[in-house]
Structure 1
Amino acid sequence: MTFPLGGIMPVGVGATSGVAGALTGVPQAQNSDGFAAVLASSIDGLQGAQKTADTLATQAATGDLKDVHDYMIASNEAALATEMVVTIKNKAVEAFNEIMRMPV
């Protein structure tokens, strides 16, 4: 399972984009590919990967699983997705703490 990340848009390209829109008071256009949308879709993907791994683990325990490789792949995908989300959370908290330490 892959988690697509949108590209970084240049600041100040249009009148309603980035910092230029914030400075001019013009409301910014709603962008569905923003950081919050990417983060939400990543968490949804994590939940899906964990649910798939749990389902395959149950099938393996009951003897209904036809291919053990499917379970191993799903388990590793869920573990990597969990690690990625935890790392993103840690970096966000670290950035917030760094911003709070800035002198005003």
Structure 2
Amino acid sequence: MTFAVTPVTGVLPTGALGAALPTQAADPAAGAQFASVLGAVENLQQMQSTSNELAVRAVTGDLDDVHDYTIASAQASTALELTAAVRNKAVDAFTEIMRMQA
């Protein structure tokens, strides 16, 4: 027994399902912005890793200048606070948009 597969062409969505489909391609600039956000998160992780490494070296006595750890710790803390603030603003904006649609 053999079955022939034929492609379906000319079918267009109708009703609410069709209205939910996007009509334009995604903005390429938005992808670049999202990539830069991911880069910022990776940078934050690197700062925290450096801070933790310097903390271990300070505790074990292998760190010559404790100021290096203090600076790295302050940078990591500030970057984390900034990232959390940006995330909170994004969540607030999303919540407001969802509230307007309801």
Q: Normalising to structure 2: TM-score of the pair?
A: 0.70
Aligned to 1:62: 60
Structure 2: runs of 5+ lacking an equivalent: 1-21
More helix by share: 2
Aligned to 1:41: 39
Instruction: Count the aligned residue pairs.
Output: 81
**Structure 1 residue 29, shift from structure 2 partner:** 6.4
Is the alpha carbon distance of 1:86 and 1:30 closer, same or farther for their aligned partners in structure 2, counting shifts above 3 Å?
same
Greater C-alpha Rg: 2
Structure 1: runs of 5+ lacking an equivalent: 1-21
What CA RMSD, in Å, does the superposition of the two structures yield over aligned residues? 2.1
Q: Normalising to structure 1: TM-score of the pair?
A: 0.69
Runs of 4 or more off by more than 4 Å in structure 1?
none
Cα deviations by residue, 1:10-31 (Å, 9 ceiling, x for unpaired): xxxxxxxxxxxx87x4x45644
Q: Distance in 1 between matches of 2:71 and 2:85?
A: 21
Q: Distance in 1 between matches of 2:90 and 2:34?
A: 12
- What secondary structure does 2:64 align onto? coil
